[in-house]
C-alpha cells in the first residue's frame, strides 16, 4: 500500500472511530399510553426525567417529573434505577391523594445518595397545599436503593410564613456526615434558606436564612469545594454575592462579585463548578444581549474574569449541569444550536467552545431537551432527555435516559 493510500485509510478509520465515540444511545425510554399528537396519557414508569446520579453500587438512579401527562399540566413523578447494562426498575411513584391532591410530593426533582446509602430527593410541588398541577411547596424525602422505606422527611412551608423555606432544589453531602441544601424562597428573611438533614434521625433544620439586604436572596445550588465546604451565589442590594458556608463550624461569609457593565448593560452570573486550578467557575449573561459566557473567580472573590461569549445565539437557552470532566474541561447540556438541545465542552483556560454534540431531536431514539448530564466512573456521559424517544403504537415517548461515549478517560 502506498503512503498516500495508507494515510487515507488511517483518516477514514479515525473518522469512523470518532463517529462511534460520539454516538448517543437511548438506554431507557419512558413511554406513556395515549395519543402521540395530543401527548395525553398515563406513564407507568414516569416521564420527563430530570435527574440522574451514579450510586456507590455502580447503578444509576434518577427521578422523573410526572407519571401522567394531562391536557393542561402533568402530575406525579417517579424514582427509578437503571443498571449500566440498561435494566430499568421502578422504585417509587408519587401518587395522588384522596382529593386528587399530592400530599406526598409532585414533580420529582434532584436526587442524591446519602452517606447512609439511601436516596434523598426533593419534589418541586405537592406537599402543603399540594393540589393537582403546579401548586404546593414541595417535599424532601428518602428511600432505600431498592425502593423500600419511602419516607417524607419534611414538607416545605410547614411553618408560619414558610420560615422553614420552600422551593428546595439542591442537596449535597457535608463534611460532617450530614446533608445540606438550599431553598429558593422562604426563611425568616423571605430570601431562601440553607437547610441541614441528619441522616441518622431524618431531622430537618434551617441553619441559615437569606435576606436581600444582608446575605442576599434566592441562593443558587451549593457547589462542593475540594476541601468539602460549600460555595454558591445569591443576589443582594449590593449586587451579586459569592457565598461560602463551612458546615463544620457554621461559618458563613459573602463577598460582592463585581460583574462588569457592557455599554451600560449589567452582567450577572451564577457559581456552578470548581476548575482544575481550584478557582470557581460559572456562566454569565448580559442583560438585553443574546449569548452566554464562562467566568472565573478566586475563592475569596478576587480576580473575577469574564471570558468572551462562547455563543451569541438569540435566546441562548438554559445551560445547566456544568461539571469538570476527567479531560479537564467543563461539560454542559444546553439548548443553543436548535430547539432540541446539545452537549458542549468549554475550556477553563479561556472559556472557548471546544466541542458541540447534537444527539437530540424530536424524531430520534435519544429524544429531545436534555435536563441532566453527568460523567460515570468509566468516563462515559450519562443524562436524561425530557421528551420524545421511540415508542410502540398506541404510546408516545416522554423522555429517555441516554449514554454517550465522548472519548473521555475514566474517573
Look over the chain and give the mean of its residue pLDDT values, rounded to a whole number: 91
Mean pLDDT of 288-311: 95
Mean pLDDT of 293-298: 97
Mean pLDDT of 322-347: 89
Q: Work out the pLDDT band at 336, boundaries 50, 70, 90.
A: low
CB burial of 288-315 (b: ≥16 within 10 Å; e: otherwise) equals: eeebbbbbbbebebeebebbebbbeeee
3 state SS of 11: helix
Distance CA 136, CA 99 (A): 14
Model pLDDT, residue 170: 86
Model pLDDT, residue 239: 92
Distance CA 131, CA 282 (A): 36
CA 225 to centroid of chain Cα atoms: 18
Model pLDDT, residue 314: 62
Residue 262 lies in a domain: yes
Residue 114 lies in a domain: no
Structural domain including 276 reads: 257-358
Q: Dump pLDDT digits (tens) for 155-164.
A: 999 999 999 9
Inform me whether the pLDDT recorded for 67 exceeds 90: yes
Model pLDDT, residue 155: 98
**Which residues contact residue 33 at a Cβ distance below 8 angstroms, ignoring those fewer than 6 apart?**
41, 42, 43, 44, 394, 395
Residue 298 lies in a domain: yes
Q: Dump pLDDT digits (tens) for 272-281.
A: 999 999 999 9
Residue 299 lies in a domain: yes
3 state SS of 249: coil
Looking up cell 419534589, which residue turns up? 123
Q: Work out the pLDDT band at 18, boundaries 50, 70, 90.
A: very low
Looking up cell 471546544, which residue turns up? 354
Distance CA 341, CA 297 (A): 28
Residue 115 lies in a domain: no
Report the phi/psi class of residue 157: left, alpha or beta, with left for phi > 0 and alpha for psi in -120 to 50.
left
Residue 279 lies in a domain: yes
Beta bridge pairs of residue 391: none
Model pLDDT, residue 356: 92
Share of residues in the chain with pLDDT > 70 (%) = 93
Give the number of domains in the chain: 1
Residue 293 lies in a domain: yes
Considering the entire predicted model, what is its pTM? 0.92
Q: Dump pLDDT digits (tens) for 194-249.
A: 999 999 999 999 999 999 999 999 999 999 999 999 999 999 999 999 999 999 99
Residue 284 lies in a domain: yes
Distance CA 106, CA 130 (A): 8
Amino acid at each position: 500500500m502506498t503512503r498516500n493510500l495508507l494515510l487515507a485509510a488511517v483518516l477514514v478509520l479515525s473518522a469512523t472511530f470518532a463517529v462511534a465515540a460520539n454516538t448517543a444511545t437511548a438506554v431507557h425510554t419512558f413511554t406513556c399510553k395515549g395519543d402521540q399528537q395530543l401527548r395525553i396519557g398515563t406513564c407507568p414508569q414516569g416521564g420527563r426525567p430530570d435527574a440522574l446520579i451514579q450510586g456507590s453500587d455502580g447503578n444509576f438512579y434518577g427521578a422523573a417529573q410526572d407519571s401522567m401527562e394531562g391536557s393542561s399540566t402533568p402530575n406525579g413523578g417517579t424514582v427509578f434505577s437503571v443498571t449500566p447494562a440498561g435494566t430499568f426498575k421502578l422504585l417509587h411513584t408519587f401518587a395522588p391523594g384522596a382529593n386528587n391532591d399530592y400530599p406526598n410530593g409532585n414533580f420529582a426533582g434532584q436526587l442524591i445518595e446519602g452517606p447512609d446509602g439511601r436516596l434523598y430527593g426533593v419534589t418541586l410541588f405537592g406537599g402543603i397545599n399540594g393540589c393537582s398541577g403546579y401548586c404546593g411547596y414541595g417535599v424532601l424525602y428518602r428511600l432505600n436503593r431498592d425502593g423500600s422505606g419511602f419516607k417524607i422527611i419534611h414538607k416545605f412551608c410547614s411553618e408560619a410564613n414558610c420560615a422553614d423555606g420552600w422551593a428546595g432544589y439542591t442537596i449535597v453531602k457535608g463534611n460532617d456526615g450530614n446533608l445540606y441544601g438550599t431553598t429558593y424562597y422562604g426563611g425568616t428573611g423571605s430570601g431562601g434558606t440553607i437547610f441541614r438533614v441528619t441522616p441518622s434521625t431524618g431531622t430537618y433544620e434551617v441553619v441559615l436564612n437569606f435576606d436581600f439586604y444582608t446575605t442576599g436572596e434566592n441562593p443558587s445550588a451549593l457547589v462542593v469545594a475540594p476541601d468539602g465546604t460549600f460555595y454558591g451565589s445569591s443576589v443582594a442590594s449590593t449586587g451579586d454575592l459569592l457565598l461560602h458556608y463551612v458546615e463544620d463550624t457554621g461559618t458563613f461569609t459573602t463577598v460582592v462579585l463585581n460583574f462588569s457593565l457592557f455599554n451600560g448593560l449589567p452582567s450577572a452570573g451564577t457559581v456552578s463548578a470548581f476548575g482544575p486550578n481550584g478557582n470557581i467557575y460559572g456562566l454569565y449573561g448580559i442583560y438585553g444581549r443574546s449569548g452566554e459566557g464562562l467566568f472565573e473567580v478566586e475563592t475569596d472573590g478576587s480576580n473575577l474574569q469574564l471570558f468572551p461569549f462562547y455563543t451569541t445565539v438569540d435566546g441562548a437557552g438554559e445551560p445547566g449541569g456544568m461539571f469538570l470532566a476527567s479531560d479537564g474541561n467543563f461539560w454542559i447540556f444546553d439548548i443553543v444550536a436548535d430547539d432540541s438541545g446539545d452537549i458542549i465542552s468549554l475550556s477553563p483556560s479561556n472559556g472557548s467552545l471546544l466541542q458541540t454534540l447534537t444527539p437530540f431531536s424530536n424524531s430520534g431514539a435519544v429524544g429531545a431537551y436534555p435536563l441532566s448530564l453527568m460523567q460515570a466512573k468509566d468516563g462515559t456521559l450519562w443524562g436524561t432527555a425530557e421528551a420524545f424517544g421511540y415508542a410502540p403504537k398506541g404510546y408516545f415517548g416522554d423522555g429517555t435516559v441516554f449514554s454517550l461515549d465522548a472519548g473521555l478517560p475514566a474517573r
